[in-house]
Amino acid sequence: MDVPLASVVLIAALFLLLGSGVWVAFSLLGVGLIGMSLFTSAPVGLVLATTVWGASNSWALAALPLFIWMGEILYRSRLSDDLFSGLAPWMSRLPGRLMHVNILGCGIFAAVSGSSAATAATIGKMAIPELNRRGYDEKMVIGTLAGSGTLGLLIPPSIILIVYGVATEESIARLFVAGILPGVFLMTLFMGYVAVWALFHPDKIPLDVESGGGVDRLRSTGRLIPVLLLIVGVIASIYFGIASPTDAAAVGVLLSLVLSRLSGTLTRETFIQGLLGATRTSCMIAFILAGAAFLTVAMGFTGIPRMLAEWISSMHLSPYMLLAALTVFFVVLGCFLDGISVVVLTTAVILPMVEQAGIDKIWFGIYLVVVVEMSQITPPVGFNLFVIQGLTDWNILQIARAALPFFVLLLITVAVITAVPEIVTFLPDRMSSR
């Protein structure tokens, strides 16, 4: 078999299918069928059936719909109102004032949602009208929201980390824990940038912000305590080995229903809407994973991943050069595909190279998520850009320009975790030593 010819044919078929508007899952299945039929003698039907069933019949996947449902429940609750009213009094003394609410609000909601788009939409619905009414610089408001919305991919429980864990057969619990410190670092970096920007542009920060006294601050923060306890409980139970990610997700759903009921937002209608929303999203992701699993097996039969790994090895690239090349590759790919599709589409080809370079797969998972976060705010298919466009009258390119500083901060984060990998590996290693 001519491996270079097979590579060209399959890449062309993939772009043709995706460019024709075919669903990502069907595109992956189609490319796998073409590869198996043209370049191998393996029984296509048998391989397809066993692979799709094996990819779907995974206990690790059970956490996926549960965490998505938890986010759907809280998305329809009063959480966005509680986030703004609870965080705003504490931000009044910081340079940038209420713009920090965008960042912290996205960080907190990311910890109960796991979705970048849901994070940006939920916080944006509340923050954009309120900050515009108070006279904040609209470009900076939109930029902070677009950048901070990407935290939904990194801060656990992250949907994309579950997908990566299933695709690579890595521990989802360790991946969740690995995302904590990078997520906190990224939030700190965003807030630092906003503070510096505010010091250089004091005329764009309104002064009439109600700070309130200590008692008022504590009273307003009281509405946040149940959600914060939910977040800490879910993550801590996984870190200390009390519960698996699936068990923690089930408890999270139950507590989310209780919180929504106590806040008065749980009705028959919102319950059904949340359940249907979680079902649609979960089925979409599971279908993509099944297609990607078949493509992975098909690629293995064709020998393309092994050939690429050998080719990369023959170039004698250092791990840093390899990561630099992969960063450019993922950002470009992310301009045309959503984050989950990028992960499942590239895992089979990229992992052999990564393992051959001696790069830790847990670390690489976090690196991959941060790079995919960058693609969420790059046109033409940056999902966060579309979400924010739906909340404003700005076009995609205007929003992308507003988000450009946060793209650079994400790039800096990639450089930092590459230079200091312990930021990612410290907590998972401590978890393993327990």
Percent of the chain past pLDDT 70, that is, above it, reads 88
pTM here? 0.77
d(CA 331, CA 410): 11
pLDDT value of residue 391 = 77
pLDDT value of residue 389 = 80
pLDDT value of residue 191 = 93
Residue 422 pLDDT > 90 = yes
Token pair for residue 97? 């004032």
Residue 417 pLDDT > 90 = yes
For the residues 295-314, what does the mean pLDDT come to?
70
pLDDT value of residue 356 = 79
317 three-class SS: coil
Categorize the per-residue pLDDT at 258 as very low, low, confident or very high, splitting at 50, 70 and 90: confident
Establish how many alpha carbons lie within 13 A of residue 195's alpha carbon, considering only the half-sphere containing its beta carbon: 11
pLDDT value of residue 168 = 84
- pLDDT single digits (tens) 342-399: 787 777 778 878 887 888 999 999 999 999 888 878 876 677 787 788 778 788 788 8
Task: Give whole-number Cα distances, 8 to 2, 31, 195, 321, in Å.
Answer: 10, 12, 49, 24
- pLDDT single digits (tens) 193-217: 999 999 998 888 887 555 555 566 6
d(CA 400, CA 302): 39
Which of 62, 72, 173, 85 has its CA nearest to residue 114?
Answer: 72
Q: Is the peptide bond before 157 cis (omega within 30 degrees of 0)?
A: yes
More confident residue, 303 or 198: 198
Please give the DSSP secondary-structure letter assigned to residue 243: S
Amino acid at 99: M
Please give the DSSP secondary-structure letter assigned to residue 21: T
Task: Give whole-number Cα distances, 28 to 45, 46, 75, 287, 376, in Å.
Answer: 15, 17, 31, 10, 21
- How many Cβ atoms sit within 10 Å of the Cβ of residue 297? 22
Written as one string, the DSSP assignment of 283-339 is: HHHHHHHHHHHHHHHHHHHHTHHHHHHHHHHHHT--HHHHHHHHHHHHHHHHTTS-H
More confident residue, 165 or 4: 165
* Range with lowest mean pLDDT among 169-173, 275-279, 316-320: 316-320
d(CA 205, CA 228): 29
Q: Are 30 and 22 in contact (CB under 8 A)?
A: yes
For the residues 294-321, what does the mean pLDDT come to?
74
Token pair for residue 207? 């002064």
- pLDDT single digits (tens) 114-154: 677 777 877 787 788 878 888 888 899 899 988 888 887 88
Tokens 């004091």, located at residue: 202
* Rg of the chain, C-alpha, whole Å: 22
d(CA 289, CA 334): 17
- How many Cβ atoms sit within 10 Å of the Cβ of residue 147? 32
- pLDDT single digits (tens) 170-181: 888 899 899 999
Average pLDDT, the chain: 81
Q: Residue 18: phi, psi to the nearest 5?
A: -65, -40
Residue 429 pLDDT > 80 = yes
Please give the DSSP secondary-structure letter assigned to residue 393: S
